[in-house]
Amino acid sequence: MNRTPVIVLTVAVLGVGLAAGYGLGHRTPTAVSAPAADKKILYWYDPMKPDQHFDHPGKSPFMDMQLVPKYPDGDATTAGSVRIDPTMVQNLGMRTATVELGTLAGDLRVPATIGWDLRQATAVTARADGVIDNLYVRAPFEHVTAGQPLASLIAPAWNTAAQEYRALAAATSSDARALQSAARERLRALGMDENQIRDAGRDGARMVLRAPSDGVVSSLDAREGQRIGAGMPIMTINGLRTVWLDAAIPQAQSGGVSPGTPVLATVNAHPGETFRGRVEALLPDIDAATRTQHARIVLDNPQETLAPGMFAELQLQSGGGHRYPLVPDEAVIATGTSTRVIIAESAGRFRPVAVRTGRSADGKTEILAGLRGGERVVVSGQFLIDSEASLSGALERMPPVTPEPKP
């Protein structure tokens, strides 16, 4: 039997084994270490449940997704920012938007009730004790014109002053003329006009009260034959050239309304007509139940077609002259204790920033403090970044919001 092939094969196997043993015995330590790109993994976690840690990879027991590794450097956390793998960013479909400077303006529609313009109210009173002899206006809400007789009163004090004035009318001495001047001023103090002073004393103790201006008798406080005292109101006359509107502005939107804001009003009693006015004042009156602030609005009423008590629908062009950074509504993360946005920086880094928000309209929110404009904020997938920032401690290092100067 020829044993030469067997011997050759045995020698070859021994040679390979010796070579392998030599190689293993002379390997350097760096050859057995992991590649430099590898990192030690602390644990795996579900981004939707970041507080639950796992010691091995696999599928999340909470969501239909793979667990994410957590590295000791916080996935490159630096100066309050976190770094997210570009592949994960792409898989999440993360979107960003640029912060713009602008003003929020929008139509604010609120109901209102029409009332008297109290600045046009005039009280008709008697300046001396007397009795109403004749009442020419016998019902409230009658229209009157300036100079129209309203009531006649019998007042002894008027008669005494009128007789004294007439007695001194023919006097020629300087002392008498001084007394006549004093008597005239006394008649004026009792409420007589020039025509009544000229006729003083001719109608006994009777005095006629006349309307001081055009308007409507909004209240009638006395009756014919009634005895009245000096200063007692007999009636009140209100003008209708303008009317007041009492509007309840939601507290969240009252910041965009200020004195001078233009107002358009419609009243269903006058279809097709539009009445123009302006906000005169925001009253310091907040309804605790409805969280609304009352606004006083002056409305022009040249044809006097609007009457107190009517219901109106108002359209206000809310907004202000200040320009603020504006972000999409979905970019704002509100937790109840803080409000923040996620800013996208270079090299895949993201940084949480505390902000103070203002009004919201048309899908955008004012940022009163925390941003200056021009930053890129995350509007989709920001909650994953927020969870990562919470794990890495970036939220604890997030500086508090500080007021920004108004643009």
Residue keyed to tokens 């309307």: 211
0.75 exceeded by the pTM? no
Provide the pLDDT for residue 135. Answer: 92
pLDDT at residue 34 in the model? 34
Q: pLDDT tens, 3-51?
A: 444 444 343 433 434 343 333 333 333 322 233 345 577 787 776 676 7
Per the model's pLDDT, the better-predicted residue between 158 and 353 turns out to be: 353
Average pLDDT on 230-255 reads 86
Q: What is the predicted pLDDT for the residue at 26? A: 36
Regarding the domain with residue range 107-117+240-318, which homologous superfamily does it belong to in the CATH classification? Answer: Efflux pump adaptor protein, beta barrel domain (2.40.30.170)
pLDDT in tens, 190-204: 766 666 666 655 555
pLDDT over 70, % of the chain: 72
Domain 124-238 has CATH 3.40.50.620: no
Worst-scoring range by mean pLDDT, 9-18, 38-47, 283-292, 375-384?
9-18
The residue ranges of every structural domain in the chain are 41-70, 82-103+323-392, 107-117+240-318, 124-238
Q: What is the Cα–Cα distance from 79 to 394, expressed in whole angstroms? A: 8
Q: Which of 275, 301, 132 is nearest to 214 (CA)?
A: 301
* Tokens standing for residue 363: 């899908």
- Give me the residues paired with residue 243 across strands: 116, 299
pLDDT band of 372, cuts 50, 70, 90: confident
Q: What is the DSSP letter of 254?
A: G
More confident residue, 338 or 10: 338
Candidate ranges 199-203, 204-208, 245-249, 380-384; pick with highest mean pLDDT: 245-249
Q: Which of 130-134, 185-189, 349-353 has the highest average model confidence (pLDDT)?
A: 130-134
User: What confidence score (pLDDT) does residue 188 get?
Assistant: 74
Mean pLDDT of 63-74: 68
Distance CA 63, CA 55 (A): 17
> Token pair for residue 312?
């109106």
Q: What is the pLDDT of residue 23?
A: 39
Architecture of domain 82-103+323-392: Beta Barrel (2.40)
